[in-house]
A and B are shown apart, each in its own frame.
Chain A
Amino acid sequence: MKILVLNSGSSSVKFQVIETDLERIENAQDLTLAVGQIEKIGMSDSRLVISVPGKKPYQTYREVLEHRAAINWAMRTLTDPEVGVLKDVHEIEAVGHRMVHGGEAFASSVLITPDVVHQIEECSVLAPLHNPPNLRGYFAANSALPEVPHVAVFDTAFHQTMPAHSFLYGLPFRLYKKHHIRKYGFHGTSHRYVAFRASQVLNRDLKDLQLITIHLGNGASVAAIDHGKSIDTSMGFTPLEGLLMGTRTGDMDPAIIPWLMAMEELTLHQVNTMMNKHSGLYGVSGVSPDMREIEEARASGHERADIAFKMFSYRIRKYIGAYAASLGGVDAVVFTGGIGEHSTEVRRLALENMAWMGLILDTERNEANQGGEGFVSTEESPVKALVVPTNEERTIARDVVRVLNGVMPTFEPPDSIS
Chain B
Amino acid sequence: MNWELHDVAIIGGGMMGRSIATTVAREGLNVCLKEVSMEAVTASREEMERSLSHEIARFGLTESEKKAILSRIRWVTQFDCTAECDLAIEAIQEDFELKSKILVELDRRMAREHPIVINTSTLSITELAAKTTQPERILGMHFLYPVTTTRVVEVVRGQVTNDKAFDRALDFARLLGKVPIKVFEMPGFVTTRVVLPLVNEAMHVVMEGVAEAPEVDLALKLGFDFRTGPLEWADRVGLDRVLNWMKHMHHESGEPRFRPCPLLKRLVRAGLLGAKTGQGFFKYDENRRRLDRLKDDRPGLT
Identify the A interface with B (CB < 8 A).
11, 42-43, 65, 258-259, 262-267, 269-271, 273-274, 277-278
For the complex, what is the distance from the CA of A266 to the CA of B227, rounded to whole Å? 12
State the 6 A-B residue pairs at the shortest beta-carbon distance, nearest first. Answer: A274-B59, A270-B60, A262-B299, A270-B59, A278-B59, A277-B62
Q: Hey, which chain B residues are within 8 Å of A277, CB to CB?
A: 59, 62
Contact with A along B26-65 (1 / 0, CB 8 A): 0010000000000000000000000000000011111000
Would you list 5 pairs from A and B whose C-beta atoms are within 8 A, ordered by A residue?
A264-B299, A265-B299, A266-B58, A267-B60, A270-B58
Residues B147-165 near A (CB distance < 8 A): 149
For the complex, what is the distance from the CA of A29 to the CA of B152, rounded to whole Å? 57
Partner of B59, one of A259, A263, A271: A271
Q: Is B301 an interface residue (CB 8 A)?
A: yes
Assess A266 versus B301: contact at CB under 8 Å? Given A42-B28, A65-B6.
Answer: no
For the complex, what is the distance from the CA of A330 to the CA of B32, rounded to whole Å? 60
Q: Hey, which chain A residues are within 8 Å of B58, CB to CB?
A: 264, 266, 270
Assess A273 versus B149: contact at CB under 8 Å? Given A262-B300, A265-B299.
Answer: no
Identify the B interface with A (CB < 8 A).
6, 28, 58-62, 149, 299-301
Closest to A255 in B: B301
A273:B62 contact, CB within 8 angstroms: yes
B60:A263 contact, CB within 8 angstroms: no
Q: Hey, which chain A residues are within 8 Å of B301, CB to CB?
A: 258-259, 262
- Report A258 CB to chain B, min CB distance, Å: 7
For the complex, what is the distance from the CA of A173 to the CA of B277, rounded to whole Å? 53
Question: Which of B6, B58, B301 has the most chain A CB atoms closer than 10 A to its own CB?
Answer: B58
Closest to A269 in B: B60
B62:A278 contact, CB within 8 angstroms: yes
For the complex, what is the distance from the CA of A72 to the CA of B296, rounded to whole Å? 61
For the complex, what is the distance from the CA of A416 to the CA of B61, rounded to whole Å? 41
For the complex, what is the distance from the CA of A258 to the CA of B6, rounded to whole Å? 38
Closest to B64 in A: A277
Interface class of chain B by DSSP: loop
Assess A273 versus B299: contact at CB under 8 Å? Given A42-B28, A267-B149.
Answer: no
Q: Hey, which chain A residues are within 8 Å of B299, CB to CB?
A: 262-265
Closest to B177 in A: A269
Given contacts A265-B299, A266-B59, A267-B60, 11 further A-B pairs with CB under 8 A are: A263-B299, A264-B299, A267-B149, A269-B149, A270-B58, A270-B59, A273-B59, A273-B60, A273-B62, A277-B59, A278-B59
For the complex, what is the distance from the CA of A273 to the CA of B57, rounded to whole Å? 11
- Report B221 CB to chain A, min CB distance, Å: 12
Q: Hey, which chain B residues are within 8 Å of A266, CB to CB?
A: 58-59
For the complex, what is the distance from the CA of A273 to the CA of B28, rounded to whole Å? 18
Q: Hey, which chain B residues are within 8 Å of A269, CB to CB?
A: 60, 149
- Report A224 CB to chain B, min CB distance, Å: 33
- Report B275 CB to chain A, min CB distance, Å: 16
- Report A415 CB to chain B, min CB distance, Å: 38
For the complex, what is the distance from the CA of A259 to the CA of B59, rounded to whole Å? 16
For the complex, what is the distance from the CA of A373 to the CA of B16, rounded to whole Å? 57
Question: Which of B6, B28, B60, B300 has the most chain A CB atoms closer than 10 A to its own CB?
Answer: B60
Question: Which of A42, A65, A258, A277 has the most chain B CB atoms closer than 10 A to its own CB?
Answer: A277
For the complex, what is the distance from the CA of A149 to the CA of B42, rounded to whole Å? 55
For the complex, what is the distance from the CA of A270 to the CA of B148, rounded to whole Å? 12
For the complex, what is the distance from the CA of A266 to the CA of B61, rounded to whole Å? 13
For the complex, what is the distance from the CA of A262 to the CA of B227, rounded to whole Å? 12
For the complex, what is the distance from the CA of A277 to the CA of B300, rounded to whole Å? 26
Q: Hey, which chain B residues are within 8 Å of A43, CB to CB?
A: 28
For the complex, what is the distance from the CA of A278 to the CA of B55, rounded to whole Å? 12
For the complex, what is the distance from the CA of A197 to the CA of B62, rounded to whole Å? 38
- Report A180 CB to chain B, min CB distance, Å: 24
A273:B300 contact, CB within 8 angstroms: no
Q: Hey, which chain B residues are within 8 Å of A265, CB to CB?
A: 299
- Report B286 CB to chain A, min CB distance, Å: 19
- Report B68 CB to chain A, min CB distance, Å: 10
Closest to B29 in A: A42
Q: Hey, which chain A residues are within 8 Å of B28, CB to CB?
A: 11, 42-43
Q: Hey, which chain B residues are within 8 Å of A262, CB to CB?
A: 299-301
For the complex, what is the distance from the CA of A163 to the CA of B113, rounded to whole Å? 58
Question: Which of A264, A270, A271 has the most chain B CB atoms closer than 10 A to its own CB?
Answer: A270
Q: Hey, which chain A residues are within 8 Å of B61, CB to CB?
A: 273
Question: Which of A259, A273, A274 has the most chain B CB atoms closer than 10 A to its own CB?
Answer: A273
For the complex, what is the distance from the CA of A259 to the CA of B299, rounded to whole Å? 10
Question: Which of B59, B61, B62, B149 has the most chain A CB atoms closer than 10 A to its own CB?
Answer: B59
For the complex, what is the distance from the CA of A337 to the CA of B61, rounded to whole Å? 27
Closest to A44 in B: B30
For the complex, what is the distance from the CA of A259 to the CA of B300, rounded to whole Å? 8
Question: Which of A11, A42, A269 has the most chain B CB atoms closer than 10 A to its own CB?
Answer: A269
For the complex, what is the distance from the CA of A270 to the CA of B6, rounded to whole Å? 27
Closest to A260 in B: B59
For the complex, what is the distance from the CA of A267 to the CA of B28, rounded to whole Å? 22
For the complex, what is the distance from the CA of A277 to the CA of B65, rounded to whole Å? 11
For the complex, what is the distance from the CA of A369 to the CA of B17, rounded to whole Å? 55
For the complex, what is the distance from the CA of A65 to the CA of B6, rounded to whole Å? 9
Closest to B60 in A: A270
- Report B172 CB to chain A, min CB distance, Å: 16
- Report A237 CB to chain B, min CB distance, Å: 21
For the complex, what is the distance from the CA of A11 to the CA of B59, rounded to whole Å? 23
Q: Hey, which chain A residues are within 8 Å of B62, CB to CB?
A: 273, 277-278
- Report B72 CB to chain A, min CB distance, Å: 9
- Report B103 CB to chain A, min CB distance, Å: 29
